[in-house]
């Protein structure tokens, strides 16, 4: 292993995969009524069912970036061990994580470790879309690709990772400034469920509005059916859910039944992204041969 891969807890990967691939994960933070928590701590599992229950009860939750102290500790340790680093960071259109973290890493490398190599790539991805992207990067490293080869692939391929979302409660999008208060109220009364995706600039944008939960889940499947890269049965399909395992499984079964896909990863949506999307969010990720 000639270099190390660092990513953020926003990648939503379970610890088994983090350990399997030797990933290094920087934890974003969230705050519940004055108490600060890290969204990833090795060996510790956040009770996300309780987290989303608190959201439904109206608890105020805020989020923040990884601490620069944590960034420095991790990257300095890797450089001191003689390792080069590839940082694959959280979508810069959704968070300041990539800008802050990559800038700090670059200053550290230039000032203290000029003999080491560092490449930073804004994944323009979030949740398990970022996770899928990172896992594919790790597989390229395992196949013998160099740091520059993996970084160049990441830069060139990041728009081929499709991100499709739907939410259960429009009020969380309204609180995050992605929907007007009037639209949230009207949509709630009419049982409107938006279908959103992450566009080529990394922004989360609405694409479609449907009435009812089942239709919104069907719309996620329809997007997969229309744009998944061939051979579809060989796809790795990742699904994040915010305390909505039954609905995530429903989408997976649609894809499994109709396309024969067998490689699925379904995981709870991490608290930092979940705090903005809300309970009931379902997010579907896969590879497409079309740019977003």
Kindly state whether residues 112 and 28 are assigned to the same domain.
Answer: yes
- Beta-carbon contacts of residue 203 (< 8 Å; ≥ 6 apart): 93, 94
Residue 117 and residue 228 in one domain = no
State the sign of the Cα–Cα–Cα–Cα dihedral 27, 129, 131, 244: positive
Question: The whole model's pTM is what?
Answer: 0.93
* 96, 186: one domain: no
Overall average pLDDT of the 59-71 stretch: 93
* Shared-domain flag, residues 118 and 236: no
Give the pLDDT confidence score for residue 209 in this predicted structure: 85
Number of domains the chain is built from: 2
Supply 268's token pair. 């709870």
Domain contains 292: no
Asked if residue 152 and residue 18 are part of one domain, the reply reads yes
Give me the CATH number covering residue 242: 3.30.1180.10
Please indicate, yes or no, whether residues 218 and 147 belong to a single structural domain of this protein. no
Helix (H) or strand (E) holding 6: strand 3-8
Domain end (from 120, 142, 158):
158
CA distance 186 to 189: 5
Residue 187 banded pLDDT, cuts 50, 70, 90 = very low
Q: Which of 110, 128, 158 is the last residue of a domain?
A: 158
Q: Where residue 7 sits, what CATH number does that domain have?
A: 3.40.50.10170
Residues 79 and 107 reside in one and the same domain: yes
Banded model confidence at residue 291, pLDDT cuts 50, 70, 90 = confident
Based on the domain organization, do 20 and 145 belong to the same domain? yes
246, with CB counted inside 10 A (0-12, 13-18, 19+), is exposed
**Full residue range of the structural domain in which residue 175 is found:** 160-287
**Residue 180: is its pLDDT beyond 90?**
no
Beta bridge partners of 263: 236
CB atoms within 10 A of CB 59: 12
Query: Does 176 share its domain with 142?
Result: no
pLDDT more than 70, % of the chain: 92
Asked if residues 270 and 39 have their Cβ atoms less than 8 Å apart, the reply is: yes
Across the strands, what pairs with 13?
none
Residues 256 and 282 in one domain: yes
Numbers of helices and strands, H then E, in the chain: 11, 13
Given 135, 158, 181, the domain boundary residue is 158
Q: What SS3 class is residue 95?
A: coil
> 100-150: per-residue pLDDT in tens?
999 999 999 999 999 999 999 999 999 999 999 999 999 999 999 999 999
pLDDT in tens, 90-106: 999 999 999 999 999 99
Residues 190, 211 contacting (CB under 8 angstroms): yes
Same domain, 153 and 164: no
């Amino acid at each position: 292993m000639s270099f190390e891969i660092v990513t953020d807890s926003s990648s939503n990967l379970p610890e088994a995969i983090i350990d399997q691939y030797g990933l290094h994960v920087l934890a974003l933070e969230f705050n519940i009524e004055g108490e600060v928590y890290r969204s990833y701590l090795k060996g510790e599992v956040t009770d996300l069912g309780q987290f989303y229950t608190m959201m439904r009860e109206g608890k105020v939750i805020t989020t923040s970036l990884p601490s620069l102290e944590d960034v420095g500790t991790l990257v300095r340790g890797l450089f001191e061990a003689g390792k080069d680093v590839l940082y694959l960071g959280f979508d810069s259109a959704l968070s300041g994580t990539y800008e802050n973290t990559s800038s700090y890493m670059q200053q550290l490398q230039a000032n203290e470790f000029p003999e080491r190599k560092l490449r930073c790539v804004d994944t323009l991805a979030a949740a398990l879309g970022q996770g899928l992207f990172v896992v594919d990067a790790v597989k390229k490293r395992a196949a013998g690709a160099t740091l520059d080869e993996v970084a160049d692939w990441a830069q060139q391929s990041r728009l081929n990772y499709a991100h499709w979302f739907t939410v259960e409660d429009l009020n969380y999008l309204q609180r995050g400034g992605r929907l007007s208060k009037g639209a949230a109220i009207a949509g709630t009364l009419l049982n409107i469920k938006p279908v959103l995706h992450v566009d080529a600039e990394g922004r989360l944008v609405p694409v479609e509005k449907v009435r009812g939960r089942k239709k919104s889940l069907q719309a996620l499947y329809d997007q997969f059916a229309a744009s998944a890269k061939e051979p579809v049965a060989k796809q790795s399909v990742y699904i994040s859910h915010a305390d909505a395992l039954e609905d995530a499984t429903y989408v997976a079964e649609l894809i499994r039944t109709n396309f024969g896909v067998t490689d699925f990863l379904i995981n709870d949506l991490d608290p930092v992204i979940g705090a903005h999307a809300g309970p009931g969010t379902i997010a579907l990720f896969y590879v497409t041969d079309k740019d977003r």
